[in-house]
Chain A
C-alpha cells in the first residue's frame, strides 16, 4: 500500500496529455473500451437491474425477493458452497502441482525441460468435452486405470466419476498450462544472480525458495490465484459431465435454472451472485497489475 501511494505522487507531473499524444491514444483505446462497455459492462448492469426490479401488476417495483429466495434456499446454498469448495481445492492443487513444475522449467537447462514444457502445455489444446469423455474412459469405473490395476492383481480404484472429485481432477488438468505459464513468467523476474548469490552464501533449497524466490513472485501467485478462481468458478462442461447430480456447481445450476426451470430472473440472480464473488478476485488481479505498473514507472 505504501509503495502504491508514494510512487503515485511521483507520477503526477508529466502525462501523455502534455505532449499532445493524448487524443490519438484515446481514439485507439475507444474501440475496445466501447466494445467492453457494450458487451460486458452494460449486460452486467442490465442483469443487476433485472434482478432488483420485478415486474408487478402496477408496473415495476424494487424487490430483493430472488436474492431472499436464493439465500434462504438450502439447495441453492449447497450448490454455492460446493462451487466455493471445488474452487478452493482446485486452486490449492494447482499451486501445489504447478509451482514445482514452474521452478523446474525456470531453472533447468537440460533438454528434458523442453519435453516437460511441451507436456505441461499439452492440456491447453484439448477441448474440455474431449477431456471429460477421455477421463470417463480412463479414471472412470472399469476404465483404463482399472484395467491396468486388474492386470496387476490390484483392487479397482474408487472412481471419482459422478462425485465432486471428477470435475476437480478435470479442472486441475485443464488449468495446468495457464497456471504454469503465469508462474514461469513470474519466476522470470527472479534473477539468476540473486539465486546464485544465495547459494554461495550457503542457502539450502527450502531457504532459497522461502527467502529469495517466493517474495519476488508473490504478485504472480496472486494473479495465478485470481485467474484460476475466475475460470474454475464459472466452469461448465467438466462439472456438467463428470460431476454429481447434486449438489451442482453454479455453471450447470444457472443453465438448468434458465432453460429447464424456465426462471430467467432467478438464473440472472445466480449469475449476479456468482460474478459478485468473482469480482472480489478480479479486484485482486486488477490491484496487483496496477501495483506492478506503478512499481515499473
Chain B
C-alpha cells in the first residue's frame, strides 16, 4: 500500500514540477508587463503589490506591473545572468527592474553596460539618495535597515544598556548565558554583529573594507583579530557558545525570556513589537563608538529591459516622498533618500533614531571569507572542540 501511494505521489509531484517549470514561460512572454523581480521576504513583495503599485497608477495609469518572486539572491543572480546573456542581442531579458540587487553580483556586468547609469538618465532620483547609502551610479538604494541591540527592559535599565563595544563585552561577561547572536550566513543581524567585531579588530574603520580590496591575504590579515574577539565572547554566550540559526530565532529567544540581549534588524524588531511578539517596552540601543552595520536594498535596471522607460518611472516613484515615508511607517525601514525628502512630521518623530551615518560592509568575496571563516574559527568554540 505504501509503495503504491509513494509512486502515485511521485508521479503527481513530477508532473506538478514539470508544469511549474513550464509556467513562467507562458506567463512571462512579452505581454507588455513590466517585470519587477524581488528576492526579498514576503513582507517586501506585499509592500510592492499593495502599496507601491497602486500608488504608481497615479503616475502612469496605463502601466502594467508584475512583481515576481525570484526566491532569493541566487534566483536574482540567475535572472541577471539571463539579462547579461541577452545583452547585445535582440532577446528580451524579461526583467525590467530588480528590487534588491547590486551590480557587483554579476561579474563584468558594469563594464559590459548591463545596468542603467542613474546619474545619466535625467530622472530626479540619484540626487535625493542619502549620500551615506550611495555605492555606485548603477544602483538606487531605496530602503535600509540597520542592526541594533534589543534587550529585555525588565532586566536591564536603559542607562545600563551598553553604548560601546567594550561596555557590551563587559555586559556579556557580567551576564553569562544572556546574549546570543545568529550564525552570520543565516541572517544579517548576526552577520552584521560579526562584521562589527571585524571593524572592532581593525581600528573601527569601515573604510578599510571595500568591494575591490578583497584578497585572500588581506582577509587573512584582517579577520583573525575578529575571530579572537568573538571566541573571547563565546564562553559567556547562551549555552557557552550557541548560535541561533536566523534573525527570527534570536527574536524568539528574546521573546521567551531565554536571553536578555540580542542583535536584531531595526525593521524586524519594530514589526515584532508592533505585532506583540516582543513587549512594548523592549529596549533598543545602538553602539555609539561605531554603529552595527546596516544595509540598503538597491534597485537596478538592466539597459536592455524591454520596458526600460516605465521601469525608470517606477524607480523614480519609489524614491518619492510618498513611498519613502511609507517605508518608515509601513515597513519599519529606513528611507533610501536623505531625510529632507521624507514627510516632515515623520522626520521629527524619528529624530532620535535617525542614524547620521550607517556603516556598511561590502559583500562580494568578503561574504564567503567571513562566513566560512566564522564557521571554522568561531563556531566550533575553544572548549567544545
Do A259 and B242 have beta carbons less than 8 Å apart?
no
> Which residues on the B side are within 8 Å of A163 (C-beta)?
239, 242
| Docked CA distance A149–B245 (Å) | 26
Closest A-B pairs by Cβ, 6 of them: A246-B379, A245-B379, A141-B258, A162-B242, A245-B243, A142-B256
Contacts A75-B380, A141-B258, A241-B249 given; does A261 touch B242 at CB 8 Å:
no
Q: From residue B184, how far is it (CB to closest CB) to chain A in Å? A: 9
A260 touches B249 (CB 8 A): no
Q: Mark A131-174, 1 if CB is under 8 A from B, else 0.
A: 00000100011110000000000000000001100000000000
Contact assessment for A143 and B256 in the assembled complex, using a CB-CB cutoff below 8 Å: yes
Q: Does B258 lie within 8 Å of A246, measured CB to CB?
A: no
Pairwise interchain contact A162-B258, C-beta atoms closer than 8 A: no
In the complex, the answer to whether A35 meets B380 with C-beta atoms within 8 Å is no
Residues of chain A lying within 8 A (CB to CB) of residue B183:
245
When chains A and B are docked, how far (Å) is the Cα of A244 from the Cα of B368?
20
Q: A182 to B2, Cβ gap below 8 A?
A: yes
If A162-B244, A182-B2, A240-B245 touch, whether A260 touches B185 (CB-CB below 8 Å) is: yes
Is B233 part of the contact surface with A, judged by Cβ < 8 Å? no
Closest chain-B Cβ to A125's Cβ sits at a distance in Å of 13
User: Could you say which residues of chain B place their CB within 8 Å of the CB of A92?
Assistant: none
B69 shortest CB reach to chain A, Å: 17
Flag B132-154 by CB within 8 Å of A: 1 or 0 each: 00000000000000000000000
Q: Taking beta carbons and an 8 Å cutoff, which residues of A are in contact with B?
A: 35, 75, 78, 136, 140-143, 162-163, 178, 181-182, 185, 240-248, 256, 259-263
**B253 contacts partner chain A, Cβ-Cβ < 8 Å:** yes
- B202 within 8 Å of A by Cβ? no
| Shortest beta-carbon distance from B287 to chain A in Å | 23
Whether the pair B380, A247 counts as a contact (CB closer than 8 A) is yes
Q: Which residue of A lies closest to B258 (CB)?
A: A141
Query: A140 contacts which of B185, B245, B256, B367 (Cβ < 8 Å)?
Result: B256
Give 1 or 0 for each of B245-282: 1 = CB within 8 Å of chain A CB. Answer: 11001001100111000000000000000000000000
Stretch at the interface among B305-313, B321-329, B369-377: B369-377
Asked whether A241 and B376 contact (CB < 8 A) given A143-B256, A260-B368, A261-B368, the answer is: no
Q: Are A136 and B252 in contact (CB under 8 A)?
A: yes
Is the Cβ of B14 less than 8 Å from the Cβ of A35? yes
Query: Interface size of B by Cβ–Cβ distance < 8 Å?
Result: 27
The interface residues of chain A lying within 8 Å CB-to-CB of B246 are 241
Chain A residues lying within 8 Å of B257, measured Cβ to Cβ, are 142
Given A260-B371, A261-B371; A142-B185 close (CB under 8 Å): no
**B74 in contact (CB, < 8 A):** yes
Q: How far is the CB of A240 from chain B (nearest CB, A)?
A: 6
Contacts of B245 in A (CB 8 A): 162, 240-243, 245
Nearest Cβ in chain B — how far from A235, in angstroms? 14
Q: What B residues does A246 contact at CB under 8 A?
A: 375, 379-381
B177: nearest residue on chain A (CB-CB)?
A141
Which B-chain residue is minimally distant from A246 (CB atoms)?
Answer: B379
* A203 smallest CB distance to B (angstroms): 31
A sample of 9 more A-B contacts (CB under 8 A), given A141-B258, A162-B244, A243-B245, is A136-B252, A143-B256, A162-B239, A163-B242, A182-B2, A241-B246, A245-B183, A246-B381, A247-B380
Closest residue on chain A to residue B185 by CB atoms: A260
Contact A142 B258 (CB under 8 A): yes
Q: Output the least CB separation between A158 and chain B (Å).
A: 9
What residues of A have a CB within 8 angstroms of the CB of B372 in the complex? 260-261
Contact status A244-B74, CB under 8 Å: no
Taking the closest CB of chain B, its distance from the CB of A248, in whole angstroms, is 8
A162–B253 Cα gap in the complex (Å)?
12
Taken together as a complex, chains A and B put the C-alpha atoms of A142 and B246 apart, in Å, by 19
- Do A185 and B253 form a contact, CB below 8 Å, given A245-B183, A246-B379? no
In the bound complex, CA of A263 to CA of B372 (Å): 11
Please report the C-alpha to C-alpha distance between residue A232 and residue B246 in the assembled complex, in whole angstroms: 22
CA–CA, A241 and B244, complex, Å: 8
**A181/B249 in contact, CB under 8 A:** no
B2 engages A185 (CB within 8 Å): yes
A238 to chain B, nearest CB (A): 11
- How far is A219 from B257 in the complex, measured between Cα atoms in Å? 49
Question: When the two chains form their complex, are residues B258 and A181 in contact, meaning their CB atoms are under 8 A apart?
Answer: no
Contacts of B244 in A (CB 8 A): 162
| Cα separation A243 to B249 with both chains bound (whole Å) | 12
Considering the complex, give the chain B residue whose CB is closest to the CB of A132: B245
- Chain B residues lying within 8 Å of A141, measured Cβ to Cβ, are 253, 256, 258
Q: In the assembled complex, how far is the CB of residue B63 from the closest CB belonging to chain A, in whole angstroms? A: 34
Which residues on B sit within 8 Å (CB–CB) of A256? 185, 371, 375
Closest residue of chain B to A243, judged by CB?
B245
**Complex Cα distance A297/B368, Å?**
57
Could you jot down 10 A-B contacts, CB within 8 Å?
A35-B14, A136-B249, A142-B256, A142-B258, A162-B244, A181-B2, A246-B381, A261-B368, A261-B372, A262-B368
CA distance A243 to B183 in the complex (A): 12
Which partner residue on chain A sits nearest B182 by CB separation?
A: A245
CA distance A243 to B367 in the complex (A): 22
In the assembled complex, the Cα of A256 lies from the Cα of B245 at a distance in Å of 13
**CB closest residue in chain B, given A241:** B245
- A75 and B74 contacting across the interface, CB-CB below 8 Å: no
Task: Determine the distance from Cα of A35 to Cα of B18 in the docked complex, in whole angstroms.
Answer: 12
Are A244's CB and B256's CB within 8 A? no
**B14 contacts which chain A residues (CB < 8 A)?**
35
Residues of B within 8 A of A247 (CB): 380
In the complex, what distance in Å separates the CA atom of A240 from the CA atom of B367? 19
Assembly CA distance A241 to B250 (angstroms): 12
Known interface pairs A35-B14, A136-B249, A141-B258; A260-B243 also in contact (CB < 8 Å): no
| 8 Å CB interface, B336-380 against A | 367-368, 371-372, 375-376, 379-380
Nearest CB in chain A to that of B372: its residue: A261
Residues of B contacting A259 in the complex (Cβ-Cβ under 8 angstroms): 74
User: Which residues of chain B have C-beta atoms less than 8 A from A185's C-beta?
Assistant: 2
